[in-house]
Structure 1
Amino acid sequence: MTFDELRALFPSAQGCVHLNHAGTSPIAQPVADAVNAVTHDLMSDDPFLAYRNHMKRQETLRAAFGRMMGVPPSTLAFTRNTSHGLAIAADGIPFSAGDNVVVSGTEYPANVYPWMAQGHRGVETRLVPAREGGLVSEEDLVTACDDRTRVLAVSWVQWGTGQRMDLARLGAFCRERGILFVVDLVQGLGALRVDLSALRVDLAAAGCHKWLLAPGGLGVLYVRPGVLPLLRPTNIGWNSVVDSIDWDRIHFDLRPDSQRFEEGTPNLLGTAALHASVSLLEAVGFDAVEERILALAARIRGGLAARGYRVLSPDHPGARSGIVAFRHPTLPNDAVLAALTERRVIAAVRAGNVRFAPHAYNNEADVDAAMAALPS
């Protein structure tokens, strides 16, 4: 599938320039059609047809995520959102009183509150301050760890600046020290390629309403096989056990893989939508999607610099992402956002910056229109 063919599937692209995929993405027509197909099944004489179709669709989707994330499908569980996945991780880790968790002080709350919630177990959450411009130093994170650090938790891509973290360095450090490495993937998954196995990530979570181009309400959790026996499932339901549809047999043999965390009735509509959106991304090609997004982000950075705006997002290789954060030299962020909104350019103000986040169906004309809409 070409980028132009992908663009034609997004009704929103005909009426506005959407550059807020780091917030909430519009959905494509095939995604809406997939949801409607499930509702049609649910209105039929045999509504259980929707569940039978779901079971096949879910495993196809799990395999696609395995290809996207560089991990076996059996290591993946579907969740409600990023927060849900990180809460499963935080609540399930066998902490002891006096342990600590190291996180950046600029993390999105989804990757802070689940760790703070472990305070009742005597666990300290250490917030490491960012450096100038809101950028996070991997060295500062490493330095904050000690012999009681149980977890280092970071976002792959920082929500406020778009900084892509060096997961390879942090993963190697954690594995050497016996620290669990937990990653919030939500601001990169669907936009950037990742191989969690090679990066030595132990646990990772993401929601699907941003770069994965699906509606909210569904997420994915990765649990490294070596970590699975350590992680205590805190939400147990009928679907957590082997032979889960044999409802007449009561037993407590948990599934031997990450699917033990899929405790109950699945999200039929969300799975259908996500299956459709991931199929679109895979039809374009994950490598091509990343290349396109980074090229558009580079065009945005160049346009902003030419207009005298201050770009906060890092520009060196390895730290770039699809997010470009910036500020006007004198105008407040809200004034910049209002000017963009008036010209039907959809952006956001986050963490003290204006934020653009293009996707693969955007094009150079979209970027140029956004630049023209910026106040001087």
Structure 2
Amino acid sequence: MTLDEFRAQFPSVQKGVHLNHAGMGPIPLVASAAVAQALTELADGDGMMAFRAHLARQSRLREALARLMNVSVEGVALTRNTSHGLTIAAQAIPFLPGENVVVGECEYPSVVYPWQAQAVRGVETRIVPCPDGLLSEDALMAACDSSTRALAVSWVQWGTGQRMDLERLGEFCQQRNIWFVVDVIQGLGALTCDLSACGADIAAGGCHKWLLAPAGIGPLYIKPSRLGELLPTNVGWNWVNNPFTWDRLRFDDTRPRADRFEEGSPAILATAALEATVALLESVGMEVIGERVHANAEALRSGLRARGMEVCPTDHQSGIVAFRHPSLANEALLAQLDAQRIWAAVRCGWVRFSPHGYTSSNDIEHALNVME
């Protein structure tokens, strides 16, 4: 599929310019069609037949997400959202009292709160300062010691667009047997993802940003070699092998794959939508989409600077562009953009643009010209 055909999947581009995919953007036609088909299956026939069709859809989606993250499908499970996946991680890692987790203070709350909740187990959450809103890999590593059991970080920082050096952090964690936990929501679907290369032990994400689906489902990845170390959590009837033999209680017959953390009845409509949007991304190609996202972000940075804007400096850039107007307050500029049907956000003291791969150069130019 070409980028023009990709863009044609979004009729909303006729109504405005969506520059808030780091928040929530429009869904494509294939997603609404997939949900309609799933609803038809549920309405027109036996519910259990529709459920069996859903199980096949789930299996295909796990395989597609594994390709998208470059990991083994044995390590992929479907959760409700990023918070759900990170909470599973925090509860399942076998902490001992006195151990600690290292995170940055500029992280989204989902990356911090699940670890702070482990204080009841005697676990310390070490929060690393972020001068000027930027998080240093050196500072994260310096905060670790012999009692550090996990390091948690976002691949892309939600407020500034800073892309973290996952391979460097992953190598550091592997050398010290520290669990390396990554929030991938602000990169997955926009950038080429390789969790195997960075050595992530656990990664979690959601679908309503760059993956282009309605909220309610997201990927959880757990390195297969680590599954045997995790504590039982998020447990339900789906925890065991042969989970449909409900009249047999066999808690010790644990499923060997990450999908054992899919505790109960699944989200049928959300699964249908996400399968469709991941297939759409694959049909374009993540390298193609990543290149367009990078080009769009670079065009915004260049154009903003040319118009006297302050652009947040980051060594490793992503699809998020954070900036400030030289004279207008952030909220006033946001209102000006909204009046022109250019949708953005204000986060962490910056106005935040986040274009996707279907965003055109004309969209970018229009957004820039509105601010002149």
Q: Fold-level match, TM-score > 0.5?
A: yes
- Residue 341 of structure 1 is matched in structure 2 by 338
- The one-letter amino acid paired with 1:9 is Q
CA positional deviation for 1:231: 1.1
- Residue 202 of structure 1 is matched in structure 2 by 201
Q: What do residues 198-223 of structure 1 show as CA deviations (whole Å, max 9, x unaligned)? A: 21111100001000000000011110
- Residue 318 of structure 2 is matched in structure 1 by 321
SS of equivalent residue, structure 2 residue 198: coil
- Residue 16 of structure 1 is matched in structure 2 by 16
- Residue 58 of structure 1 is matched in structure 2 by 58
Q: How does 1:253-332 map to 2 (within 5 A)?
A: 253-314=253-314, 316=315, 319-332=316-329
Matching residue within 341, 353, 356 for 2:353: 356
Q: Kindly indicate whether the alpha-carbon contact (under 8 Å) linking 1:313 and 1:323 is maintained by their aligned counterparts in 2.
A: no
Q: Partners in 1 of 2:9 and 2:137 — Cα distance? A: 40
State which drifts further: 327-336 or 149-158: 327-336
Q: How many residues matched?
A: 371
User: Is there any run of 5+ residues in structure 1 with no aligned partner, and where?
Assistant: none
- The one-letter amino acid paired with 1:16 is G
- The one-letter amino acid paired with 2:42 is L
Q: Partners in 2 of 1:310 and 1:258 — Cα distance? A: 44
- Residue 175 of structure 2 is matched in structure 1 by 176
CA positional deviation for 1:313: 4.3
SS of equivalent residue, structure 1 residue 198: helix
CA positional deviation for 1:97: 1.3
Q: How does 1:128-147 map to 2 (within 5 A)?
A: 128-132=128-132, 134-147=133-146
CA positional deviation for 1:372: 1.4
Q: What do residues 124-152 of structure 1 show as CA deviations (whole Å, max 9, x unaligned)? A: 111111123x1111001111111111111
- The one-letter amino acid paired with 1:57 is R
- Residue 119 of structure 2 is matched in structure 1 by 119
Name the TM-score, length of structure 1 as normaliser.
Answer: 0.97
State which drifts further: 188-197 or 293-302: 188-197
- Residue 26 of structure 1 is matched in structure 2 by 26
CA positional deviation for 1:227: 1.5
Q: What do residues 57-100 of structure 1 show as CA deviations (whole Å, max 9, x unaligned)? A: 11111111111111111100000000000000001111111111
- The one-letter amino acid paired with 1:352 is G
- Residue 363 of structure 2 is matched in structure 1 by 366
- Residue 86 of structure 2 is matched in structure 1 by 86
Q: Partners in 2 of 1:329 and 1:280 — Cα distance? A: 39
Sequence identity percentage? 56
- Residue 71 of structure 1 is matched in structure 2 by 71
User: Is there any run of 5+ residues in structure 2 with no aligned partner, and where?
Assistant: none
CA positional deviation for 1:251: 1.1
- Residue 234 of structure 2 is matched in structure 1 by 235
